[in-house]
Each structure stands twice: as structure tokens, then as C-alpha cells.
Amino acid sequence: MDPTGIEKVIGVLEDMTEKGIILDFAVGGAFAATLLNEPIATVDLDIFFLLAEGGDELILSLDAIYRYAEENGFQFDHEFINIFGWLVQFVEASRNDLWREAIESANMVEVGHHKIPVIDAVHLVSMWLLAGRARDYQKIAIFLDAGLVDMPDLFNVLDKHNLMTKWERQKWRLIDDPE
């Protein structure tokens, strides 16, 4: 991945927004963690977004995104679009209240000459808890150890999205002193 290419990717996302392909977006996943000063290895860039149209359909279609990629010469496979050397995964968020909230409450972070929305630490941790993969629990532990998470805010979000029971069941693997 070309680190200078991220600004080009941001330009593409802004263009997609201006053209009405996506309504709103925020950077999530491990790249968001890196932007929040906690480097975590990743091979892709997760973009959580809201579709401009068709979001209410029974079957979600990303045709507009793939058509845009094709028209602009970006290669793609099943889940990634290669945009200037960055593997970008688009994750439509309108059907998940937590993901939608994460986009709406994203912080603006300066990247090069752009300010981009980045999902905050509390919502990243909540999203990773919801996903529940081993690597997600590792990322949560890293964030908690680094002191990046406001625990009262986290508990408010977990409670709001019915994740407190899962937190209680998993906290033994996430924090050194779970009591």
C-alpha cells in the first residue's frame, strides 16, 4: 500500500459523496485505530457508509459503487476495490443501528490535506465486540490497555445497543482485572 495514496482514496470517497453514490461515510477498522494513535496491522481500509439510494431494498445492491469503480479503472474482486493501491472494503451501515451511530458520531481527523470522518474509539470497541472474532477481542484489549476508551461512554453505547451481556461474558479476555 502506498501511504501517500490514502489522500487519493479520500478524494475518491469525497467524489462518490458529491456524486450521490454514498450519503455519508467514516473510516473504521484497524486503519481507524491507526489514525487514533494505536497502530494495528491491516491489509485493507474499511469504509462504513450509507447508500444514497436503495438502502430500503430487501437485498442490498452495491452496483453503484462497483459501476463507479469500473468507470474509474479501479480493479475489484468479491469484497475489495483496489483504489490507488489501497484495498478498500465498503461496508453498508444503514441496517445496523450501532454502525449508523458510529458514522454519525465520527470525529474529523486530518490526513494530509483532508479532514476525514473516523469512527471514535468507543464505537470501534463496540463494533469489535459485536463482531466477536478473536482478532477483534485483541484489538479491544489493545485499546483498553492504551487508555483510548472512556469507559462510561463505552458502557452507555454497549447498553444502548444491547451489548452489555456480551461485554460481561467477554471482559475476562479484554481487561487485566475484570472485577
* Residue, of 36 and 74, whose pLDDT is higher: 74
Q: State the pLDDT at residue 53.
A: 63
Q: State the pLDDT at residue 54.
A: 56
Q: State the pLDDT at residue 1.
A: 45
Tell me, what amino acid is at 33?
A
CA distance 111 to 114: 5
Query: Is the model's pLDDT at 55 over the cut of 60?
Result: no
- 23: burial class by Cβ within 10 Å (0-12, 13-18, 19+)? middle
pTM of the predicted protein model: 0.89
Tell me, what amino acid is at 126?
S
pLDDT in tens, 56-91: 556 778 889 999 999 999 999 878 999 999 999 999
Q: Write the CB contacts of 146 (distance below 8 Å, at least 6 apart in sequence).
A: 38
Query: Is the model's pLDDT at 143 over the cut of 90?
Result: yes
Phi and psi based region of residue 33 (left: phi greater than 0; alpha: psi -120 to 50; beta: remaining): alpha
Residues 74/44/62/64 CA torsion (nearest 10 deg): -30
Q: State the pLDDT at residue 178.
A: 56
